[in-house]
């Protein structure tokens, strides 16, 4: 069930069945010569939308701009500063909590988001801690590739050249969902270099075409479909378990 294609009475009814909601969250940033700029928000959106087709799972609109300051040297990247990102995640969660969503599950598509999302969670929890009261809702962050079995499948699909940015697995996922938007390029070198992540100028100097450690040429729509299927199954189970959790503080 997609929240944005529902009415408020439908959401009211859904809340009577479950207090959990999934928020696909990612980033809009360069993904090398052939990866789509939307890759990191499209992947969790694709997986979550697929998952809700076969389960009573409520999916919020996609949080499509994240923390991608290091990619700003490449055209098309849009980034929030961490402080802005924290504020925005806060307002999303506060809004959802008002309606009775007590389990808010972020399905993330961008490694660079993780620290700031966790900091945003702490900022939200701290409001309750400083007020000496229970928060009333729980937050969970999961990268889609960390869903049960997904990393293992990607390692089998791409034993070398998976890398950490513009990876063949994420590109495969978007190829499966957007076959008309598959791009081709010659990669030089075939496997991109690796190293640390700092500001945008340093990043572009280290990683001239935007990839980090990856060989995206291995991506195929079929492999993407396998990843989506497995991730969607894992998501449904994880959210069900999360929804069933009991907080000792009420």
* # of chain residues touching a second copy (CB under 8 A): 94
Q: Which parts of 115-174 interact with a second copy (CB under 8 A)? A: 115-116, 118-120, 122-123, 125-126, 128-130, 132-135, 138-139
Q: Does 213 bind a second copy (CB under 8 A)?
A: no
Supply the minimum distance, in Å, between the C-beta of residue 4 and a second copy: 3
Eight-state DSSP code of residue 24:
E
User: Shortest Cβ distance from residue 245 to a second copy (Å)?
Assistant: 8
Q: Are 138 and 105 in contact (CB under 8 A)?
A: no
The answer to the question of residue 188 lying near a second copy (CB under 8 A) is no
Nearest to a second copy of 63, 106 (CB atom): 63
CB 226 to a second copy: min, Å: 22
DSSP string, 128-181: HHHTTS--S-EEEEEEGGGSTTHHHHHHHH-SSS--SBS-HHHHHHHHHH-GGG
Q: Is 66 exposed, middle or buried (0-12, 13-18, 19+ CB in 10 A)?
A: buried
Residues 81-110 that bind a second copy (CB under 8 A): 81-84, 86-88, 90-92, 94-96, 98-100
> Under the criterion CB under 8 A, does residue 181 sit at the interface with a second copy?
yes
Q: How far is the CB of 149 from a second copy (least distance, A)?
A: 22
Name the one residue in this structure whose structure tokens are 């500063």: 81
Exposure letters 150-163 (e unless 16+ CB within 10 A, then b): beebbeebbeebbb
Q: Per CB under 8 A, which of residues 18..77 are in contact with a second copy?
A: 28, 30-38, 41-42, 60-65, 67, 69-70, 72-77
Distance CA 83, CA 119 (A): 10
Question: Minimum Å distance from CB 159 to a second copy?
Answer: 26
Residue 197 DSSP symbol: -
């Amino acid at each position: 069930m997609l929240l944005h294609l529902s009415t408020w009475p439908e959401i009211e009814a859904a809340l009577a069945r479950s207090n959990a909601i999934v928020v696909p969250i990612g980033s809009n940033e360069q993904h090398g010569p052939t990866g789509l700029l939307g890759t990191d928000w499209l992947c969790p959106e694709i997986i979550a939308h697929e998952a809700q087709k076969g389960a009573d799972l409520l999916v919020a609109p996609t949080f499509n701009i994240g923390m991608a300051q290091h990619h700003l040297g490449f055209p098309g990247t849009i980034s929030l500063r961490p402080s802005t990102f924290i504020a925005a995640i806060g307002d999303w969660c506060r809004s959802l909590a008002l309606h009775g969503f007590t389990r808010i599950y972020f399905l993330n598509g961008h490694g660079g988001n993780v620290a700031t999302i966790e900091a945003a969670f702490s900022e939200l929890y701290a409001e309750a801690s400083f007020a000496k009261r229970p928060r009333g809702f729980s937050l969970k962050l999961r990268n889609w590739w960390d869903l049960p079995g997904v990393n293992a499948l990607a390692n089998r699909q791409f034993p070398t050249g998976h890398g950490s940015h513009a990876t063949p697995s994420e590109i495969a996922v978007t190829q499966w969902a957007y076959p008309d938007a598959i791009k081709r390029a010659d990669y030089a070198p075939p496997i991109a270099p690796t190293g640390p992540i700092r500001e945008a100028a340093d990043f572009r100097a280290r990683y001239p075409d935007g990839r980090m450690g990856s060989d995206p040429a291995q991506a195929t729509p079929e492999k993407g479909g396998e990843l989506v299927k497995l991730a969607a199954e894992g998501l449904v189970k994880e959210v069900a378990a999360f929804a069933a959790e009991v907080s000792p503080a009420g």
